[in-house]
Amino acid sequence: MNKTVNTVLFMIGATLLNLLLIIVIFVALLILCSLFLDSKSESQSLVMIAYGLSIILAIGGGFFIYNRIVRWANNKWHLENYLVTGFKKNRR
């Protein structure tokens, strides 16, 4: 396979991994919110703030973990040799 096909497959796999990380973190945070906040006894605004923070933390945490995984994979397998880079130097 050439670098373009490798790059497309990597991007598809990395996107799926990122979405999976975000979903797993979001579900874990929702479970924590449901354990610590009882929606009947707590104020409704506190529950909504907790759910909103769960969404933000899931997206941020997913991107953070994804970034660490991609850096680790790049260092371990030298992916720059197999993938097309997004930035090319201006050749004259």
Query: 3-class secondary structure for the chain?
Result: CCHHHHHHHHHHHHHHHHHHHHHHHHHHHHHHHHHHCCCCCCCHHHHHHHHHHHHHHHHHHHHHHHHHHHHHHHHHHCHHHCCCCCCCCCCC
Q: Give the mean pLDDT of 62-76.
A: 95
What pLDDT does 90 receive?
58
Give the confidence band of 92 by pLDDT, cuts at 50, 70, 90: low
What is the pTM assigned to this prediction? 0.84
Of the candidates 67, 56, 81, 88, the one whose C-alpha atom is nearest the C-alpha of residue 14 is 67
